[in-house]
Amino acid sequence: MKICPRMLSFLPALIVFAGLSFSPHQSLSASFEEEATTFVQNLAEKAIRELTDKNKPRDERIDQFRTYFNDHFAVSGIGKWILGRHWRKANEAERAEYLQLFEDLMVVSYVDRFAAYVGEPLHIHKSLVQDDNNVTVYSDIHQEEGGAAVRVDWRVGRKDDLLKIVDVVVEGTSMSNTLRSDFGSIIRQRGGKVAGLLEALREKTAKLRENDG
């Protein structure tokens, strides 16, 4: 076949077109999106199935929720991000204690309400790929008591084959961002020391653990 100049002028367009339709990135992100959507759906169903039994002793529910939380959330990653620049200043022992206390705080704060919350029907209506490793899954949760649907966005991160929730955004308010302000404020009040935050976390988690319901 003879190639005439006119045909050549189509070449760039052709290449762009081919690039778009056969880009491995696009097909990967499409499946990543689906994967993340399924992940959030499963997470909600699992919460209803496993975490809603109010008759179980609280200690048992705490253990169960801890496992669930670690399975589905990037717990230490979120913890590190919340601490931000203070993470770098903390020594090894402080870091280890902080991550443990952060997990404890999340577990004892959410054990009594997470199931009640996610226990309501969850409608996923959209998902959006941010980059190769981050997808946001948008959902509405219809509350039992007459109120309007609550908008909940799940930020799902990926590392290799592992998917984890990195943030939950309720009506535009990010859990991670709010905790970052909360913890940051305590550190500032206590002389910029992570040790001050650890002290506050120890008191708070102990109090919440005692508190039944």
Stretch that binds another protein, among 14-22, 33-41, 51-59, 152-160 (CB under 8 A): 152-160
Rounded to a whole number of angstroms, the minimum distance from the CB of residue 8 to another protein is: 39
Stretch that binds another protein, among 3-11, 25-33, 36-44, 132-140 (CB under 8 A): 132-140
Q: Amino acid letter at 178?
A: T
Strand pairing report for 173-174 and 162-170: antiparallel
d(CA 115, CA 113): 6
Instruction: Find the radius of gyration of the CA atoms of the chain.
Output: 22
Supply the DSSP symbol for 166.
E
Stretch that binds another protein, among 3-11, 15-23, 34-42, 147-155 (CB under 8 A): 147-155
Long-range CB contacts for residues 156-162, cutoff 8 Å, separation at least 24: 156/36, 156/39, 156/40, 157/74, 157/77, 157/133, 158/32, 158/36, 158/132, 158/133, 158/134, 159/133
The residue from 35, 174, 193, 209 that contacts another protein (CB under 8 A) is 174
Rounded to a whole number of angstroms, the minimum distance from the CB of residue 26 to another protein is: 19
Q: Which residues bind another protein (CB under 8 A)?
A: 74, 76-78, 80-81, 85, 87-88, 105, 109, 113, 128, 130, 133-134, 136, 145-148, 151, 153, 155, 157-159, 162, 164, 166-167, 171-174, 176-178, 180-186, 188-189, 192, 197, 200-201, 204, 208, 211
